[in-house]
Amino acid sequence: MNREQVMAKLTEIFRDVFDDDSIVLHDSTSAKDIEDWDSLEHINLIGAVERHFRMRFTMKEVSGMKNVGEMADILCERAGK
């Protein structure tokens, strides 16, 4: 899976978790850019991403992620891309 495919899948996951089909993700997208992205939804989002990609983020990765681009980078790195 390449980075473009990862971003497309993340967009689907974000739209599902936040129930908002208008979400368009960019590398710089962060919690401040999505109205309902609070701490509870962050947990739901991380869980949904982990389930889809069949992997677990470490606590260090979760706490260090500043935006969607960093999340995509981790996913691509784990996939060996």
Q: What is the pTM of this model?
A: 0.93
Please give the structure tokens belonging to residue 56.
Answer: 């677990």
Average pLDDT of span 6-29: 97
Interatomic CA distance for residues 78 and 66, integer angstroms: 18
Neighbours of 18 (CB within 10 A): 17
Question: What's the N-to-C CA distance of the chain in angstroms?
Answer: 7
* Structural domains in the chain plus CATH codes: 3-79 (1.10.1200.10)
For 30-71, the pLDDT digits (tens) are: 999 999 999 999 999 999 999 999 999 999 999 999 999 999
pLDDT class of 80 with cuts at 50, 70, 90: confident
Please give the structure tokens belonging to residue 52.
Answer: 């889809």
Which residue would you say has higher pLDDT here, 34 or 81? Answer: 34
